[in-house]
Amino acid sequence: MYFFLYIFDLSELLLATLLNKFMKKLNNLVIVGNGMVGYKMCEKLIEKKVQEEYNIIVFGGESRPAYDRVHLSEYFSGKSAEDLLMAPADWYNENGITLYLNDPVVKIDREKKEVISFKGMSVSYSKLVLATGSSCFIPSIPGIEKEGVIAYRTIEDLDDIKSYAAKSKKGVVIGGGLLGLEAAKALMDLGLETHVVEFAPRLMPRQLDEMGAIILKEKIESLNIIIHLNKNTQSIDGEGKVAKMVFADGSELETDMIVVSAGIKPRDELARESGLEVGPRGGIVVNDLLQTSDPDIYSIGESALYKGMIYGLVAPGYEMADVVANSLAGGSKTFAPYDMSTKLKLIGVDVASFGDPFCTEQEHQHIVFEDRTKGIYKRVNISTCGNYLLGGVLVGDAKDYNMLLQTYKNSIILPPTPEDLILGPRGGSESAGSGVLSLPDAALICSCENVTKGDICSAVTYNNLEDVAGIKKCTKAGTGCGGCVPMLNDLLTATLKASGKEVNKVLCEHFGYSRQEVLAIIKSTGIKTYDELLMKYGNGDGCEVCKPAVASMFASTWNEMILKQDTIQDTNDRYLANIQKGGTYSVVPRIPGGEITPEKLIAIGVIAKKYDLYCKITGGQRIDLFGARVDELPLIWEELIEVGFESGHAYGKSLRTVKSCVGSTWCRFGLHDSVTFAIEIEERYKGLRAPHKLKSAVSGCVRECAEAQGKDFGIIATDKGWNLYVCGNGGAKPQHAKLLASDIDKETCIKYIDRFLMFYIRTAEPLNRTSTWLNKLDGGMEFLKDVIVNDSLGLGEQLEKEMQYMVDTYKCEWKDVVEDPLKRKRFTHFVNSSIADPTIKFQAMRDQKKPVEWGA
């Protein structure tokens, strides 16, 4: 009897299992669209185990799985379509998701609850998610259909742009927004004369105020991209293909091709044809659960219209995917109006806006910092009471964006001096409440993945995380646009310190030591080769992180010829010259202080003419000679050395230049001889290897013609002597230098520079400029001044001795190669032949030459 009951129970269990499987087969969840948001929908469904209740079926219109459109322009700089994939096709299959590519859905039958694809496939659904995204808005301009007009939206579009650019000389982008400027960068990289045409009176009108847009325009125009504002295109003319654009103001612009990036248009055709409610200007209307007018159909991403708003950023699309996945899993999470703050890098220029960037509809005060010479503009809007941040705009320098965004989002009370928000705290200390740990746990650090400060700190604490990679793996923070990664690093460090753990930043997985500790090992043991160091103090085979870092440390310690190292820093060090486009190299002879005799000028001209080199005077008062083949380098150096030149080290992480004004020698305002001092400084520190490149300048008076306050160390003449400034930086993230000592004599100034540079070499992280090093230095400028000027650590004499050793052991690296036959043998294009590289080609430009553009 018990035996039969057992069989009955077992049969009932099997029946239930089979019924479950059968019901699941009828329980289809269909996702229409496989863009970034469609992919994130799949990810969220897996995370919430929704696939246990539904068969997940995805239809994609393109021939490849979802790829990263945010970084689409990187396709032009070497990334492949596979590099941009969010996940390979196998990933879907491994997670039980059926993916149909190159087969868009063309019809929704709401009565039968089924979708029909382009290839005729009919699939029923219990729930349907429309993630159809958007298409490139093509303005209805007469002639827009002509050959040579290409949209900027998909990888196929980019292939078309590449192909058409190869037979074009001039290209125009219609649209001065984010994607338009990305498209302009692409055309510039392809070697075309590039123009941008924008209908509005300024670039990026949704993100930037008038002044911010002007600064951005100036920065972009400095790259030889021509901007045309307030232009209404009336027609595109040409016989079958593009020849010119005609504008409403009567002007014309000749061009060979046009790239259209004039905004996006929500793809709501399916919804419209199936009777779902759509907005008057497009977009599928959704409620707080992101349901359409049919409760079994959802819409997410750029196709969804929520409270009159189409969200064109990836972060709100990801949040929408999370809301729908939560709903399908039985949750009650709803969508809310999403903050559209964003940080971007456009053509190498940082641009950010947050909160209410314009404050046109609320009373406010605003603080503005503007530096037209460096292309920096910062504006913050604060409440009339002065307590709260309302929004702002950043152009040219957006390093403070994350903290500004969190200050705004979390209504953090501002410091008594709110100008510190954009000028930086004065006096060497942080403003009250400016640290990352002062943020509330609910502060949203990663908006792409909806990860809060509390999530990150908890993950670090409870999972014993010790690096940002661990945070990414555990929380997914930083895996989207990547804008929050600097704050992840700050939170990691602050959390570890707060829990009493030692924050030890190891060089890499092959060395369990920080850079400072590895440097100490090298100094104390006398080790001079990478292999010996790795064998005794490391493990494995090494990597691209530790090899160049160790090579730099050897150079900074022993000052030996860089070519003696098997693990030299990069291609530039390998050939003691900067590799340029087309595979040739540039030669920069040292010209200390910018002073040069007529004889040396003539010699440079003769050599440049002999080897057919392109000549350019640099911003650092040097003459750069471009277009030298690798086999010509020793020959060129030999002739330069004969007339008294030596290596300018423009290729190394070392002292580049010491710039000077003419000072008291010629200038009526000059207080002291800045040229002589600049030459003395450059001769002393030439060739000094460091964690990053070093630049310097000497100005003969406070008029600062040599721009000393924008250098790693700068000297300015005063009535009583010299002022010494340190840790300034031009470049991508400019920073004013800070005063280290005032009214000092030459000898004291050199002594302080010796100490400063050697202390920087001892303590900085790899590839940190002096400005970044100071920003991370505990105690800031006050501590640095105490160490260098007051010798608080008792290291002054030792640092001076170390520098004197570097000065005494200096050798010109070019001369070393020229005089050594074995080293000279390295300088060939081919190991088995002395012939020159036949693929190197040039074209004429303004009576000189330039490399033929890639793809031409």
Residue 768 lies in a domain: yes
Q: How confident is the model at residue 589 (pLDDT cuts 50, 70, 90)?
A: very high
Say which DSSP state 279 is in: -
Range in 193-202, 355-364, 812-821 the model is least confident about: 355-364
Is 448 labeled as ligand-binding? no
Task: Give the helix, strand, coil percentages of the chain, each rounded to 5.
Answer: 35, 20, 40
Specify the pLDDT at position 329.
92
Average pLDDT over residues 579-589: 82
Q: Are residues 498 and 520 in the same domain?
A: no
Q: Are residues 816 and 669 in the same domain?
A: yes
Q: Does residue 434 register a pLDDT over 60?
A: no
Phi and psi torsions of 780, nearest 5°: 60, -145
CB 761 within 8 A of CB 798: no
Q: Are residues 160 and 211 in the same domain?
A: yes
Domain's final residue, options 451, 470, 503:
503
Residue 4 lies in a domain: no
Return d(Cα 450, Cα 443) in angstroms, integer: 10
Q: What is the mean pLDDT of the chain?
A: 86
Average pLDDT over residues 757-779: 89
Compute the C-alpha angle 15/16/21, nearest 5°. Answer: 100
Average pLDDT over residues 721-746: 90
Q: Are residues 130 and 143 in the same domain?
A: no
Specify the pLDDT at position 448.
76
Condensed to tens digits (0 to 9), the pLDDT of residues 170-222 reads: 999 999 888 888 889 889 888 899 999 999 999 988 888 899 999 999 988 88
Q: How confident is the model at residue 507 (pLDDT cuts 50, 70, 90)?
A: confident
Residue 378 lies in a domain: no
Q: How confident is the model at residue 435 (pLDDT cuts 50, 70, 90)?
A: low
Q: How confident is the model at residue 4 (pLDDT cuts 50, 70, 90)?
A: very low
Average pLDDT over residues 454-465: 88
Q: Are residues 126 and 142 in the same domain?
A: no
Residue 401 lies in a domain: no
Return d(Cα 326, Cα 450) in angstroms, integer: 14
Return d(Cα 622, Cα 657) in angstroms, integer: 8
Q: Are residues 185 and 251 in the same domain?
A: yes
Q: Are residues 203 and 270 in the same domain?
A: no
Average pLDDT over residues 417-443: 63
Q: Does residue 841 register a pLDDT over 90?
A: no
Return d(Cα 265, Cα 615) in angstroms, integer: 48
Condensed to tens digits (0 to 9), the pLDDT of residues 604-633 reads: 999 999 999 988 888 788 898 888 888 889
Residue 606 lies in a domain: no
Total domains in the fold of the chain: 5
Q: Does residue 756 register a pLDDT over 90?
A: yes
Q: Does residue 355 register a pLDDT over 50?
A: yes
Is 446 labeled as ligand-binding? no
Average pLDDT over residues 354-361: 85
Condensed to tens digits (0 to 9), the pLDDT of residues 224-259 reads: 899 999 999 999 999 989 999 999 999 999 999 999
Is 705 labeled as ligand-binding? yes
Q: Are residues 701 and 811 in the same domain?
A: yes
CATH of the domain at 668: 3.30.413.10
Which DSSP string corresponds to 288-307?
Answer: TT-B-SSTTEEE-GGGEEET
Specify the pLDDT at position 22.
45
Is 481 labeled as ligand-binding? no
Q: How confident is the model at residue 544 (pLDDT cuts 50, 70, 90)?
A: confident
Specify the pLDDT at position 828.
82
Q: How confident is the model at residue 559 (pLDDT cuts 50, 70, 90)?
A: confident
Specify the pLDDT at position 820.
87
Q: Are residues 664 and 797 in the same domain?
A: yes
Average pLDDT over residues 357-369: 85
Domain's final residue, options 460, 479, 503:
503
Q: Are residues 66 and 186 in the same domain?
A: no
Residue 159 lies in a domain: yes
Q: Does residue 410 register a pLDDT over 70?
A: yes
More confident position, 532 or 504: 532
CATH of the domain at 117: 3.50.50.60
* pTM score, whole prediction: 0.56
Q: Does residue 468 register a pLDDT over 90?
A: no
Q: CA-CA distances (angstroms) from residue 124 to 27, 114, 121, 307?
A: 9, 4, 10, 30
Q: What's the full length of the chain, in residues?
A: 856
Domain's final residue, options 525, 542, 569:
569
Which DSSP string corresponds to 313-358?
Answer: SHHHHHHHHHHHHHHHTT-----------EEEEETTEEEEEEE-SS
Q: Are residues 677 and 813 in the same domain?
A: yes
Return d(Cα 486, Cα 841) in angstroms, integer: 41
Specify the pLDDT at position 264.
86
Specify the pLDDT at position 106.
95
Question: Residue 736 is part of which domain span?
Answer: 658-820
Token pair recorded at residue 389: 């941040």
Return d(Cα 483, Cα 486) in angstroms, integer: 7
Q: How confident is the model at residue 571 (pLDDT cuts 50, 70, 90)?
A: low
Q: Are residues 52 and 160 in the same domain?
A: no
Residue 594 lies in a domain: no
CATH of the domain at 447: 1.10.10.1100
Selection from 259, 46, 15 nearest residue 154 by Cα: 259
Which DSSP string corresponds to 15-52?
Answer: HHHHHHHHHHHH-EEEEE--SHHHHHHHHHHHHTTGGG
Residue 257 lies in a domain: yes
Q: How many CA atoms lie within 13 A of 20 on its CB side?
A: 8
